[in-house]
Every structure is written in C-alpha cells, then in structure tokens.
C-alpha cells in the first residue's frame, strides 16, 4: 500500500507540471528515492491509473464542448474577413472529418516490393493459370 508521500508524488506526476527534482523536493524526498518509487510496480500502477483517469476526464470535457467548438470554427470560417483564416479553418474541419490526405508516395518502397518476386514463381503461376483455362 502506498504511503502519503507516495500518493502526493503520484498526484504531482499526474499533474505533469513539475520535473522529477521539483516533485522530490515538494514531497520531501531525494531524487533517487523518487526513481526507486518509479520502479515500484504498485507506484507505477497508481501513476498509470491516475493518468488514465485524467485522460478520461479531459476527453469527456472536450466531448461535452465539441458541438460548441465545431460551431465556432464554422462561424470563423463563414464570418472572417481574412480569406486565409477561412481557408485554414475549413481545411482543418475537412482534415479532421476525412483525415489528412497524404501527398507523397514512396516509390522506392513500391518498386522494392515488386522486385521481390522471383521470376520462376511468376512462371509457375502463369503456367498454373494457363492450365486452368
């Protein structure tokens, strides 16, 4: 079971505002002690649990305000006198809805996989296909 200083360290780590030295100082321990705690399975599990709870809470808050945010972005795109701002806002909305398109095709990767087929394998496949007809 984690003691009170360990739980305080877990809280500070989950908040994500301080570095390890600052956390150790606030809890009243040395940095090596904090690193020992970070190797402790129960401590790590508690940090993970706390971070997961924080993430879930943040996602719920974002979801609760999502419609408002989308409407605001749409208003900016519609009402902005700056055409660049309009275009960027609309592009952002499209990218978020459909996914950002990729513009680069790695031809080296495509050709290297095509070159990986042996000629005799292709001949055997062709012979088999010819016999099936």
Determine the Cα–Cα distance for residues 46 and 10; give it in Å rounded to an integer. Answer: 7
Determine the Cα–Cα distance for residues 114 and 5; give it in Å rounded to an integer. Answer: 60
* Predicted TM-score (pTM) above 0.85: no
Do 10 and 2 form a contact (C-beta atoms < 8 A)?
A: yes
Length of the chain: 133
pLDDT tens track for 102-127: 666 566 655 555 555 666 777 777 77
Do 13 and 23 form a contact (C-beta atoms < 8 A)?
A: yes
CA 21, 26, 30, 36 dihedral sign is negative
HSE of 65 in the Cβ direction (CA atoms, 13 Å)? 8
Cα diameter, the chain: 81
- The encoded tokens of residue 125 equal 């496949």
pLDDT tens track for 69-83: 888 888 888 887 888
pLDDT tens track for 8-54: 999 999 999 999 999 999 999 999 999 999 999 999 999 999 999 99
Do 61 and 43 form a contact (C-beta atoms < 8 A)?
A: no
């Amino acid at each position: 079971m984690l003691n009170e200083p360990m739980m305080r360290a877990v809280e500070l780590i989950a908040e994500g505002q301080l570095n390890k030295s600052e956390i150790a100082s606030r809890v009243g321990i040395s940095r090596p002690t904090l690193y020992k705690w970070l190797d402790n399975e129960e401590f790590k599990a508690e940090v993970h649990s706390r971070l997961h709870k924080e993430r879930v809470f943040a996602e719920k808050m974002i979801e609760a305000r999502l419609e408002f945010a989308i409407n605001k972005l749409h208003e900016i795109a519609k009402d902005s006198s700056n055409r660049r701002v309009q275009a960027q806002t609309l592009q952002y909305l499209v990218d978020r809805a459909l996914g950002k398109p990729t513009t680069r095709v790695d031809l080296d990767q495509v050709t290297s996989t095509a070159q990986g087929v042996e000629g005799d394998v292709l001949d055997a496949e062709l012979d088999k296909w010819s016999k099936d007809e």
